[in-house]
Structure 1
Amino acid sequence: MILERQEKEGWGTKVIDRLSADLREAFPDMQGLSTRNLKYMRAFAAAWPDREIVQGTLAQITWYHNIALLEKVRDPHVRLWYARRGLEEGWSRNVLAMQIESRLHDRQGKAINNFALTLPPGDSDMAAQVFKDPYLFDFLGTADPRREREVELALTDHIQRFLLELGAGFAFVGRQVHLEFADSDYYLDLLFYHLRLRCYIVIELKSVPFDPRFVGTLNMYLSAVDDQLRHSDDESSIGLLLCRKGSKIEVEYALRGFQKPMGVASWETKLVKDLPEELQRSLPSVAEIEAELSREEVGK
């Protein structure tokens, strides 16, 4: 009605102000009739002309979720993606806003993987959508962990935020999970179970760029988990290697030929992500800093 009135009477007639005053006078006990809220209602009606979408997805999330979508997302297709995803995963308004700010839609399903060759078609599509790239560990603050064990400890200290970044369906099993075979002890960095995929998820963390040798180790761990932990009702275990970037073609070549389903993605902390690109390039790497410190130590 507001859109129709504004089209007929023009924007300068204060249609919303007059309507708000009339409504509050007619319904003094009713909340949500302020000028500001009516403007949100007008924006909502303009953004969603398709009644089927409104009655389907949007009617099932709160008005505050809808306001967040209107304020933070311009593209209607992307806005609907977040609405549907938020409904599926039960996001609060704050979590929805956080996922939008982290551009989840650009990261979801982007991990390089071999799922199409190692899993049945339906399972491979679902598994591909479970993983993202990059993973944003903003909750680590400005910390820049240099060793895998430091990353593990930080993630498990913030397990709720870590699970939120991983996405719905992940159940934490443990860190440094012990496996024994060939008269040797091995320890998985992080072990999860995915409730929708019905399988174990082995996550290996690296604080360095991708190295093809990491894939061989992860493949070995997956074989051991399938033999020692997997129940007869479980699907094949899936591996996720998280490292500090890497060449896409190198990752694809490294995964080729392996029979175990694996994905490779990068991870970032707030410190690196927030710096302008030109400043990131001008900063020394961890390896360069350590080399310089070693030279100073030798000089002493």
Structure 2
Amino acid sequence: MGKQLGRNALLNWLDTDLYERDGKAITNFQTTLPAIQSDLAQQITKDPYLFDFLDLREKFDERDIEEELVNNVTRFLLELGKGFSYMGRQFRLEIGQQEFFPDLLFYNAHLHAYVVIELKAQSFHPSFLGQLSFYVSAINHQFKTDIDNPTIGLLICKDKDNVVAKYALDPYKEPIGISEYQLSKLFPKDFKSSMPTIEELEKGLKDNKE
């Protein structure tokens, strides 16, 4: 059994080109984290992330991706990699007299750090980093304890220009990574499954009896 699981894991690793994706996010970890933490943080990133398990319609937005990832959180955790624990979606932060809601919050047991993930259904733009940096700072102030390492931000976009991404990270003191996601399929907006519903099956059986 163990050998079979090991073989399946290896095949999955090869099928998804994991060896080409691991640790490939554009990050500023080397300049914002201690050396040991920086190397480990880089290793847990991927570029791109494969969201093949999502069923999305055309013209989807960030909330659609977020909802599908939460609905498939076990698959999402497997894609993120080892050590990730899901903390919440639209995690409420009360700052001053205002409320803010980061898309997804995780804790990584190997890094001993919170990881804030923001999703964008658009190509990368430098302006996206300001919001993520703010969330990272807020989590550090409100949730990070003395035994936790600095919070990390991860921005996952539709696609990105790597040169623009590298330049955009320069001013930030918070550890942030930038990756892309890939989808294998999109359904038309008015897509209706060809499989019959329970109601249709029941109606068909009733009609046949009559």
Fold shared by both chains (TM-score > 0.5): yes
Report if the CA contact (8 A) 2:27-2:175 is conserved.
Answer: yes
1:139 aligns with 2:139: no
Paired residue secondary structure (1:138): coil
Letter in 1 for 2:115: I
Q: Which has the larger radius of gyration?
A: 1
5 Å matches for 1:108-187? 108-141=22-55, 143-144=57-58, 146-187=60-101
Which aligned pairs between 1:62-101 and structure 2 lie closer than 5 A?
Answer: 62=3, 64=4, 92-101=6-15
Higher helix share: 1
Query: Percent same amino acid at aligned positions?
Result: 42
| Residue identity opposite 1:189 in structure 2 | D
Question: Which residue does the alignment assign to 2:134?
Answer: 220
Shift of 1:147: 1.1
Whether the aligned pair in 2 keeps the contact of 1:145 and 1:207 (CA below 8 Å) is no
Find the partner of 1:251 among 165, 177, 185.
165
Count of matched residue pairs: 185
Q: Distance in 2 between matches of 1:246 and 1:175?
A: 24
1:36-83, Cα deviation, whole Å (9 max, x unpaired): xxxxxxxxxxxxxxxxxxxxxxxxx72x4xxxxxxxxxxxxxxxxxxx
Calculate the aligned-residue CA RMSD, in Å.
Answer: 1.5
* Distance in 1 (alpha carbons) for counterparts of 2:12 and 2:143: 35
The residue type paired with residue 83 of structure 2 is G
Distance in 1, Cα, partners of 2:16 & 2:56: 16
Q: Structure 1: any 5+ residue segments left out of the alignment? A: 1-60, 65-90, 273-300
TM-score scaled to structure 1, two decimals?
0.59
CA contact (8 A) 1:135 1:165 kept: yes
Residues 110 and 208 (structure 1), Cα distance of their counterparts in 2 relative to 1, 3 Å cut: same
Secondary structure in structure 1 of the residue aligned to 2:91: strand
Q: Deviations over 1:3-54 (max 9, x none)?
A: xxxxxxxxxxxxxxxxxxxxxxxxxxxxxxxxxxxxxxxxxxxxxxxxxxxx
Q: Distance in 2 between matches of 1:103 and 1:173?
A: 28
CA shift at 1:205, angstroms?
0.5
Moved more, 96-105 or 148-157: 96-105
1: CA distance, partners of 2:97 / 2:119: 24
- Structure 1's consecutive aligned runs of 4 or more residues displaced over 4 angstroms after TM superposition are 141-145
Are residue 102 (structure 1) and residue 16 (structure 2) matched?
yes
2:114: which partner in 1? 200
What does residue 266 of structure 1 align with? Answer: 180
| SS of equivalent residue, structure 2 residue 159 | coil
Shift of 1:143: 4.3
Q: Distance in 1 between matches of 2:105 and 2:88?
A: 5
Q: Distance in 2 between matches of 1:156 and 1:99?
A: 23
